[in-house]
Structure 1
Amino acid sequence: SLLPHPGKVSSLGGRLTLDRDTTVRALPGAEQAADLLRTLVGRPAGLPLTPSPDGRVVLALDDRLGGLGEEGYGLTVAPQALQLRAAHRTGLLRGIQTIRQLLPAEALSGGAAGTGSWELPCVEITDVPDRPWRGAMLDVARRFQPIGYLRRYVDLLALHKLNVLHLHLTDDQGWRMPVDTYPRLISVGSRRARSQKGPTGPDGAHFDAVPHEGHYTKAELRGLVRYAAERGITVVPEIEMPGHVRAALAAYPELGNHPGRQLDVWTRWGVCDTILGVHEGVFDFCRAVLEEVMDVFPSPYVHIGGEECPTTEWEDSPAARERAAALGLAGPAELHGWFMGRIGAFLVERGRIPLGWVENGAELPPEFTVMTWRDGTHARAAARRGHQVIAAHHRATYLDYAQSTDPSEPVAQPGAPVPLHTVHGYEPAPHDWPEEERARVLGSQVQLWTEYARTPEEIEYLSFPRLCALADRSWSGGRGDWPGFVERLRHHTARLDALGVPYRPLDARSLATAGSASPSAGTARLHP
């Protein structure tokens, strides 16, 4: 009942008992992994797992397992001993999550720690992920979440062997990261006066009367980065540009195309038509912001948005039209690619990889790794152009859509549901593609835009069990074993229960396969 399913698993028969006398031997290089074992396994299970040179639980780095890559591991559980080996530290971290899942679910919660002993089945596992990028995007710009919750979210990702937390930090409705050189991004940009209630209907939008605000300190974000790294997860920051910047323009109107216009932080959902200008002061701003972002986030990747950028303001701006003409562009609309190219080149100069959303798979410069979301064909179009690709088609990976047609589902993004079966069936790089194109697909990730997910409980209800489906498929690859996944998921829900995760119950509606939308079909939508 492991989830995601390991590459190779064999039952050896018998049981291993872990109790208060069980000790841990960490060979050189495995000490930090042993600390995590004590934190994630020992603490909730009530086991000291004391270090000892004669420990029955052995964690070891082993160069002979280099063929398993950075995240692969080998785990042997025998009646008298447990041995976890990997060529790299990250592989040990993945194996620790498997050990957690081999224990009874009650051992995860800490609620039954007084029992003093726990049994694991004796197994031999060799495990390697199918793709190197297996992630989850969480939008904290529209709905701020405290740093303590982000640590919990990291732990839930780690349990499912996901390895990227993509943190959407800025948007029209809020700016969440402090920038020392631009303090009004927080004093003004982190607070909006009210929020839209539900989707826009025939009678227009409706609003609450509750201000929404919040921001992180740099110390909190650095702490989150360390916490995630200890669990083998990279935190990838996203700073939106040149669109989705209304909060920044509310703080610094001079960055826009109408410098004298005072805007508020946007209170609506959808796409705002206010965008950054193209004068040099804007690029000074973007570079200064990203310098501070890179100082906090060591991720090789920095996401700079790029999607849903209406060019009406550029087309109406004499300065933008003049800039486009001076650059020899066909018109102001082409300033988008030029803008992204300048910022991308800056990130490359700083040793980072620029990452951006693409509308058609072909509009970003070649140095970008791209996230394709709008259409199922765009991932292949981008791979054909030579991009590294993260495939995130909205009809298979956007968890802000409802999970079923059940009228009792919570308010969700307008559009057809994205059911569990569709998420598990998503193939980021189908097997009928040429191998050189498939090799350029790094992996996939789920997205949770938070217009309608206000609280941690609502975030988790929308995420689970669909996040489990993407985690299973992203790690295991192949064409997917839906019946096997459902059977393992039924066991896995006991772990979610033990961790206090509210999730969509497994019933006829949530497990339905008939009528599941094809990830390559469905109506186009706008990013929130």
Structure 2
Amino acid sequence: MPGHFTFDSSTTVRAEGGAQGAAKLLRTLLAPATGLPLPTSTTGTVVIVLDPYLRGLGTEGYGLTIAPNAVLLRAARPAGLLNGVQTIRQLLPAEALSPRPVAGVPWRMPCGQITDVPRYRWRGAMLDVARHFQPVSFLRRFTDLLALHKMNTLHLHLTDDQGWRMPVSAYPRLTEVGGVRSRTLLGPADSDQYDDTPHAGAYTAGQLRGLVAYAAERGVTVVPEIEMPGHARAALAAYPELGNVPGRQLDVWTRWGVCENVLGVHDGVLEFCRTVLGEVMDVFPSPYVHIGGDECPATEWESSPVALRRTAELGLAAPKALHGWFLGRIGAFLLAAGRRPLCWAEDSGALPPDFTVMPWRDTEHGLAAARRGHDVVMAPYRSTYLDYPQSDDPGEPLGQQGVVDLPAAHRGGAPTGWEPESAARVLGTQGQLWSEFIRTPEEIEYLAFPRLAALADRAWNPASEWSTDFLPALRVHETRLTALGVAHRATPPRRGVPVPGTTPH
């Protein structure tokens, strides 16, 4: 369809069938750069319609028709309309994404017709705010960046050995003590150098509730993660009675890696976990609650009289089997509360059957979990761990040993070659930003982009081809990242590659 539609001072918006949220988002996102009010009108030139009979579009699909004198955005569910709003932003000049007024730009987009439905329903990013705390203002900005790429999940890693960031009114020392690390390791896990500067930070329940609401307005669900029974030293520093050695006082861990100090298995620990998760669920309405679950050494259980007694009472073969028992008890509590338990899977061993799993070591572990009947969110570190350097260039920021380059990130969004029954268990994929070596928002953005755009592209459309689909689109998309002020690794220009006016999701 030839021609363009132009947003100008005469453009009005009509929202039908409960589409007011999408209309509000459109105004909110376009106002900073364009200054256009886009008022409501019964004869609007931009019509946004929520129509539940458009079942073929599913939960998140949308239809967008652009003519020279009108725009029609339709979807069966609100999430689809929100995705369509992001496409309108992408079709406008890149300056439309600027946070400041831009003059002299015609706010026009090409005419055409789009029907767009995502392949996967989980398209997300995990942000580790436990090891290095990030302000709520950045979490909102990061949410906006996810929404622009039509990613629908922000997974917040709120607790770990090195810090506890989630407020729990029943256990105030979790943030008062567990939220403060005396110093931070410099360099890799085997380093012996520290900055000797305390690192602290914790959110309020109000801040987190505000983030949840902000994200929901943009079609993003915030999934909380509270680590257990391992990666729990910050909790043990705050409440020593949760551990396996009576009377022992630990500090919040200042090293990286896997700590052998884990939660005990006595009844008081289970009550603690239920209370904490109860408050978490009050703040986060997400259908999923992540409880970590991996990298849990059994060393302390093997010498704990309480753990040995529990092992014998349950008829378990060895104390390490308490791990599955512990997860099962916590999972049952979440299920009874109407939530779905989620955990990391570091091997192909059995987990409680009702868990959704995130296999991170190997794609084959994901296949094994799917064959056992688990729903799976793919998170293999070789393609989704964005804290790894993007190249072996000596100027890259310090990270884990190895490289996850842009092609690897694009390949990693979707498994291939699985039998249909197992492939149907894949909910989607997400990128991981662990923060041992990431301190600032600028560092997060640089490591996330453009690799997160590559993951988003494959999570929406696994058939996207690297050289003919994604890479040419990325060269256009980089102008948007620049307009937003996003620190990112630039993609070198390639001769002879056409640059269509499309964008990665």
Gaps of 5+ in 2: 495-505
- The equivalent residue for 1:406 is 393
Q: Structure 1 residues 28, 193: CA separation in 2 closer, same or farther (over 3 Å shift)?
A: same
Runs of 4+ in 1 over 3 A off after TM superposition: 110-117
Would you say 1:460 and 2:445 are equivalent positions? yes
Secondary structure of 2:362's aligned partner: coil
Q: Structure 1 residue aligned with 2:136, among 130, 144, 147?
A: 147
- The equivalent residue for 2:425 is 440
Cα distance in structure 2, aligned partners of 1:243 and 1:274: 7
Cα distance in structure 1, aligned partners of 2:467 and 2:129: 32
Further displaced range: 28-37 or 246-255:
28-37
Asked if 2 retains the 8 angstrom alpha-carbon contact of 1:425 and 1:479, the reply is no
Asked if 2 retains the 8 angstrom alpha-carbon contact of 1:45 and 1:110, the reply is no
- The equivalent residue for 1:487 is 472
Cα distance in structure 2, aligned partners of 1:78 and 1:117: 16
Asked if 2 retains the 8 angstrom alpha-carbon contact of 1:173 and 1:192, the reply is yes
Considering Cα pairs closer than 8 Å and 6+ residues apart, tell me whether 1 or 2 has the greater RCO: 1
1:116 is displaced (CA, Å) by 7.2
- The equivalent residue for 2:499 is none
- The equivalent residue for 1:66 is 55
- The equivalent residue for 1:120 is 109
- The equivalent residue for 1:294 is 281
Secondary structure of 2:80's aligned partner: helix
Further displaced range: 265-274 or 61-70:
61-70
Q: Structure 1 residues 116, 397: CA separation in 2 closer, same or farther (over 3 Å shift)?
A: closer
Q: Structure 2 residue aligned with 1:416, among 402, 419, 440?
A: 402
Would you say 1:47 and 2:41 are equivalent positions? no
Give matches, 1:7-406, under 5 Å.
12-115=1-104, 117-201=106-190, 204-406=191-393
Q: Structure 1 residues 259, 387: CA separation in 2 closer, same or farther (over 3 Å shift)?
A: same
Secondary structure of 1:404's aligned partner: coil
Q: Which amino acid aligns with 1:264?
A: D
1:398 is displaced (CA, Å) by 0.1
1:46-75 per-residue CA deviation (whole Å, 9 max, x = no partner) reads 111011111100000123321110100000
Would you say 1:451 and 2:440 are equivalent positions? no
Q: Which amino acid aligns with 1:352?
A: R
Secondary structure of 1:50's aligned partner: coil
1:426 is displaced (CA, Å) by 1.9
Asked if 1 retains the 8 angstrom alpha-carbon contact of 2:413 and 2:430, the reply is no
- The equivalent residue for 1:504 is 489
Q: Structure 1 residues 508, 104: CA separation in 2 closer, same or farther (over 3 Å shift)?
A: closer
1:429-448 per-residue CA deviation (whole Å, 9 max, x = no partner) reads 31x22111100000000000
Further displaced range: 489-498 or 354-363:
354-363
1:172-195 per-residue CA deviation (whole Å, 9 max, x = no partner) reads 000001101101001101001100
1:42 is displaced (CA, Å) by 3.1
Aligned length: 494
Gaps of 5+ in 1: 1-11, 510-528
Cα distance in structure 2, aligned partners of 1:404 and 1:433: 30
1:43 is displaced (CA, Å) by 3.4
1:354-390 per-residue CA deviation (whole Å, 9 max, x = no partner) reads 0000122333111000000011200100000000000
- RMSD value, Cα: 1.3
Q: Which amino acid aligns with 2:152?
A: N
Asked if 2 retains the 8 angstrom alpha-carbon contact of 1:427 and 1:479, the reply is no
Q: Structure 2 residue aligned with 1:478, among 463, 479, 484?
A: 463
Further displaced range: 290-299 or 13-22:
13-22
1:28 is displaced (CA, Å) by 2.7
Cα distance in structure 1, aligned partners of 2:327 and 2:17: 45
Q: Structure 2 residue aligned with 1:429, among 400, 415, 424?
A: 415
Secondary structure of 1:13's aligned partner: coil
Cα distance in structure 2, aligned partners of 1:112 and 1:253: 54
Cα distance in structure 1, aligned partners of 2:73 and 2:215: 21
Asked if 2 retains the 8 angstrom alpha-carbon contact of 1:192 and 1:211, the reply is yes
1:107 is displaced (CA, Å) by 1.3
Q: Structure 1 residues 131, 323: CA separation in 2 closer, same or farther (over 3 Å shift)?
A: same
Cα distance in structure 2, aligned partners of 1:196 and 1:111: 38
1:479 is displaced (CA, Å) by 5.7
- The equivalent residue for 1:520 is none
Asked if 1 retains the 8 angstrom alpha-carbon contact of 2:379 and 2:431, the reply is yes
Cα distance in structure 1, aligned partners of 2:493 and 2:44: 47
Asked if 2 retains the 8 angstrom alpha-carbon contact of 1:162 and 1:471, the reply is yes
Asked if 2 retains the 8 angstrom alpha-carbon contact of 1:357 and 1:370, the reply is yes
1:483 is displaced (CA, Å) by 3.3
Q: Which amino acid aligns with 1:52?
A: S
Cα distance in structure 2, aligned partners of 1:407 and 1:464: 19
Further displaced range: 62-71 or 469-478:
62-71
1:97-117 per-residue CA deviation (whole Å, 9 max, x = no partner) reads 000000000111044433374
Cα distance in structure 2, aligned partners of 1:343 and 1:44: 47
Asked if 2 retains the 8 angstrom alpha-carbon contact of 1:425 and 1:480, the reply is no
- TM-score by length of structure 1 reads 0.92
